[in-house]
Amino acid sequence: MTDSITISVDAMGGDNAPRAVIHGAHLALKERKNTRFIFHGIKSQIDPLLEEFPDLKPASEVRHCETVIAMDEKPSQALRKGKGVSSMWMAIQSVKDGEADVAISGGNTGALMAMATFCLRPMEGISRPGIAAIWPTLRSDIIVLDMGATIGADARQLVDYAILGSALARSLFDTDNPTVGLLNVGTEEVKGLESIKEAGKILSEASGAGFTYHGFVEGDDIGKGTVDVVVTEGFVGNIALKTAEGTARQVASYLRSALMANWVSRLGALLASSALNALRRKMDPRTVNGGVFMGLNGIVIKSHGGSDEIGYKSALGLAYEMARSRLMDKIGDTMQRFPIHKPAQEQPTQSEV
C-alpha cells in the first residue's frame, strides 16, 4: 500500500449521479488529503463538475465510458450490456488491474454484485460473497452481514460470513478478537433452523480463531450492540436493515411533530438544540452509508443509490478506511487461523434482493 489511497469510482451510479458523486468526493478529499480518484463515466458530464471543485481536479482522473447501467436492470442484462465497457464494470476492473485500492458505486446492487463476482471472483475458500453494513448501536458501531447479496444460506455460508465479518471488525474497530453472534429467533441452542444450529456448533468449536463466538442473538441485540458482528442470511438481513432505516425516519418524524406542537415545545426545542442536533446526526443514515462486498479478491463498496453528497462522502470515507487498514490481509489471516475451514467446491449463484 502506498502513502496515497486510490479509489475507483462509478461516477454514473445512483439517482443523483454524477453531481452528488463528484461533490461527495470533494468533501471526502477535505478530510483525507492523500486520496486519489479515478472517475469512470461520461466525460462531458464529469469534467464541468470538476471545474466547480478546483481542489478535487488535480487528485482526479476521468476515464470515459458511454455505457451506464440503469437502476432497474436485471443482473444478467447488466452483465451482457456492460461487461468490459460500462462505468460500473470499469470501476471494478481498475481494482483487479491493481490501479486502485478499492471500487465504489451507488448503482444497481444486483448488477454490482454480479459484475464484482465475475470480475474479481470469490476468494479461495469462500463459498458466497456477502454485503456487510456498519450499524450504529447503543454501545458502538457493529458489523451486520449478509445484507442481501444472496437469498438463503446454509451452515457453511453462515460460517463464511462470520469469518468475513470478524475480519472487517478487526479492520474497523481496532480489536484482535471481535465477538460474533448468529441472528436467531431465540438464544436457546434448540431454537432456529438447522442451518443456523449447525453453523453455531462449527463456530463454537472454532472460537478463538480470530474471533470469540458469543452464541445466538435476537433482533433486539443488534440495537444493543451485544456483539461486534451479527451474522445472518441475506433475506433476513436486508429486511432488518430496511426496517431499522424506516424506524429511524419514523422516530425523527414523531420527534419533529412533537417539538413543533406548540410554543412551549418549540421553546424546549430551542433550549435543547445542541442535544437535538447531536441526536439528528446520530440517526442520519447518510453518516453510515456504504455496504462492503465481502469475500471477493478485491474491495468493493456499495453506496445507497439515493445518496446525496453527504452520503457519498461517508461511503468514500469507508472505502478509504477499508484500503488503509488492509482489509484483504486481515481476511486472509482470519481464514488461516480458522481450524476447520475447507476450500469452496463450487462458485456461487447470485440472487438479487
To which CATH superfamily is domain 5-127+287-332 assigned?
A: Isopropylmalate Dehydrogenase (3.40.718.10)
pLDDT digits (tens, 9 = 90+) for 176-225: 889 999 999 988 888 888 999 999 999 998 888 778 999 999 999 998 99
Cβ(258)–Cβ(82) under 8 Å? Answer: no
Structure confidence at residue 44 (pLDDT): 96
Using the predicted structure, report yes or no on whether residue 351 has a pLDDT greater than 50: no
- Reported as a single tens digit per residue, the pLDDT across 127-167 is 788 999 888 888 888 999 988 887 888 898 999 999 899 98
With a pLDDT cut of 70, the percent of the chain lying above it is 93
What separation, in Å, do the N-terminal and C-terminal C-alpha atoms of the chain show?
A: 34
Cα torsion 292, 296, 300, 303: sign? negative
DSSP letters, 78-111, are HHHHHTTTBHHHHHHHHHHTTS-SEEEE-S-HHH
Sign (positive/negative) of CA torsion 154, 156, 158, 160? Answer: negative
Higher-pLDDT residue of 86 and 254 is: 86
Q: For 39-85, what is each residue's pLDDT tens digit?
A: 999 999 999 999 999 999 999 999 999 999 999 999 999 999 989 99
275-291 confidence digits (pLDDT tens): 767 766 666 667 777 88
**Intervals of CATH 3.40.718.10 along the chain:** 5-127+287-332, 137-285
Gap between the Cα atoms of 221 and 138, Å rounded? 10
CATH superfamily of 137-285: Isopropylmalate Dehydrogenase (3.40.718.10)
Verify cis geometry, omega within 30 degrees of 0, for the bond prior to 146. yes
Q: In whole angstroms, give the CA distance from residue 183 to residue 229.
A: 10
Mean pLDDT of the chain: 87
